[in-house]
Structure 1
């Protein structure tokens, strides 16, 4: 039996949000996935991989990615629903994530190959359930409006049509970029663990470790504070507490503490954190692993001192030293910051494109 955390803001019983299931074939039902049932997890993985392959041309999801959504640890900030056929096989899956105050993410996956009318009915069930969960979360947070933030691969007309007809609006485009890494780039910086650009008065280093081996909390708070400030005016930025930030990033299957870097100015009376990069591992089952830039941010006062470029050189050199063959990241294609120019100049190229779709739900 799955244990739901007491501090969950979600309605745990799908039937409370879905009293009727119009359009579904006879015998089809809705309930929650069972993370302890390997067949359930395997089936959801198949659904997600097929969704990825149809949308961008290849699949990358693994069972670890599904467990982030459905495991008991994940259910502290998430809730799930599945649509099952008469044989209890999952044919559609929805997952919502209480991401930050005012922002709730939605993963919306419907089996490819279902008849159009059945697939659309499954989509309607997932959306209606998500809208109900948005009201629950918004009410628990004391909000008047709760945003649902979901996505689609560019060119996935089925997904886009369903979202548009369900009241979502496409609000942003994102370039998913990749950069090849060569072994000789391990010398791109003197030492990825720590180095200094003296002419700029900036030092780059990994977050420190405490005696227990865990990261130094002051350093982690510096990372959080830098990123909160750096993204303050960025698209769809919502305040996230330090505890929420740490919990969410540690859920990532690719999380590693030795992939967190700080940049500090060292030309003042004492070092000051002005930049941060949080990296992860992109594991591969049929080749070298890669690194991924989950977050990179620079405080406004320190821009123009080569901080972002230094952090990017650091993760590239680190990836090369670990025999990885690539570094990936995501770029806001509609941003006016010019970040895409920096990434392009350092060798990143767009591999595929995704879209953000939003719907604002009034909270009763």
Structure 2
């Protein structure tokens, strides 16, 4: 549904509704990055007790032309003090990530008022963008951690529905020892030196085909998929692997630097195996290759997120190689104009 041509559209962004006395809303600027980072880190700590957020992620909102085109961010201030943010990001033309964060040290009534105003603003903003693109029935996506009662309460009150659970899993790498390799499965590091690299096209094909039967999968055209990767400041092509079974390429693993700075942990962003390669040890071989490499790099752990209802039984696969469940988060969806 998404296209860079369509993303050039610049709709009028709605003004916020009434706010508590003394509150000011304005467009976010690059100079706000330290304050945005501090607020979002505090929000993570309040929601989960920990945070792996890095400054580069927030900086990316302003440094990336693509992120600037697709994201709309407002900051909230009171007497010059930064107290919150509202953000909409167009992931696809009909799917919008929405985010509200408010300083939880404020009085409870003020926090609630800013949450209600924020969820209203992100909704009308997403609808304005969707209308400019000719999309009649967009979906709003919010993320709620399992122990975050505040976010859950406001999301449900605003009409969001809990739709899917995702489990963060982890393996400690101290004293990691991998199994003996399977002679029928060969793993190699993807050879990627630019957007036209054959292995990059192969990775796209393998991941796309592997995930077609997964929840909420939308196929991205090759050029858009590559641009997303190149635009990600934490992307790391050196941790991408391709698996073959009996000489036929059937699987791929994408590593990422999302947890290195704060947790000194590797991260597996995607692991996909074609139907014809499943049940043959391919996924386990990819995992152990990644584990061994992260251990050799000095990482203390490796993480990934998995759909709790994965049709491939991925949760059990990860447990079988020693990973354990750490925390759970939920996709909350809302269709303001009904489902398409």
CA distance in structure 2 between the partners assigned to 1:95 and 1:159 by the alignment: 15
C-alpha displacement at 1:29, in angstroms?
A: 2.0
Structure-1 residue corresponding to 2:214: 234
User: Which residue of 76, 79, 90 maps to 1:83?
Assistant: 76
Task: Give TM-score, length-normalised by structure 1.
Answer: 0.83
CA distance in structure 1 between the partners assigned to 2:73 and 2:194 by the alignment: 32
Structure 1 residues 66 and 353, CA gap change in structure 2 (3 angstroms):
same
Structure-1 residue corresponding to 2:242: 262
- Structure 2 residue runs without a partner (length 5+): none
Q: Structure 1 residue 279 and structure 2 residue 262: aligned?
A: no
Structure 1 residues 241 and 137, CA gap change in structure 2 (3 angstroms):
farther
User: Which residue of 217, 230, 248 maps to 1:250?
Assistant: 230
What does residue range 1-364 of structure 1 map to in structure 2 within 5 Å? Answer: 8=7, 11=10, 16-18=13-15, 20-22=16-18, 24-35=19-30, 37=31, 40-73=32-65, 74-87=67-80, 89-183=81-175, 185=177, 197-198=182-183, 200=184, 202-209=185-192, 213-214=193-194, 217-267=197-247, 271=248, 273-281=249-257, 282-285=259-262, 289-362=264-337
CA distance in structure 2 between the partners assigned to 1:152 and 1:259 by the alignment: 29
SS at match of 1:53: helix
Aligned residues of 2:11 and 2:132 also touching (Cα < 8 A): no
CA distance in structure 1 between the partners assigned to 2:334 and 2:76 by the alignment: 22
Structure 1 residues 130 and 243, CA gap change in structure 2 (3 angstroms):
farther
Structure-2 residue corresponding to 1:193: none
User: RMSD value over aligned CA atoms?
Assistant: 2.4
SS at match of 2:120: helix
CA distance in structure 2 between the partners assigned to 1:208 and 1:135 by the alignment: 41
C-alpha displacement at 1:64, in angstroms?
A: 1.3
Aligned residues of 1:254 and 1:280 also touching (Cα < 8 A): yes
C-alpha displacement at 1:184, in angstroms?
A: 5.2
Q: Please identify runs of 4+ aligned residues in structure 1 that moved more than 4 A.
A: 9-13, 187-190
Aligned residues of 1:9 and 1:137 also touching (Cα < 8 A): no
Indicate the larger mover: 159-168 or 346-355: 346-355
SS at match of 1:362: coil
- Structure 1 residue runs without a partner (length 5+): 191-196
Q: Structure 1, residues 48-68: CA drift from partner, whole Å, max 9, x if none?
A: 111111111122212112112
Aligned residues of 1:101 and 1:239 also touching (Cα < 8 A): no
Task: Give TM-score, length-normalised by structure 2.
Answer: 0.89
CA distance in structure 2 between the partners assigned to 1:47 and 1:72 by the alignment: 21
CA distance in structure 1 between the partners assigned to 2:150 and 2:9 by the alignment: 28
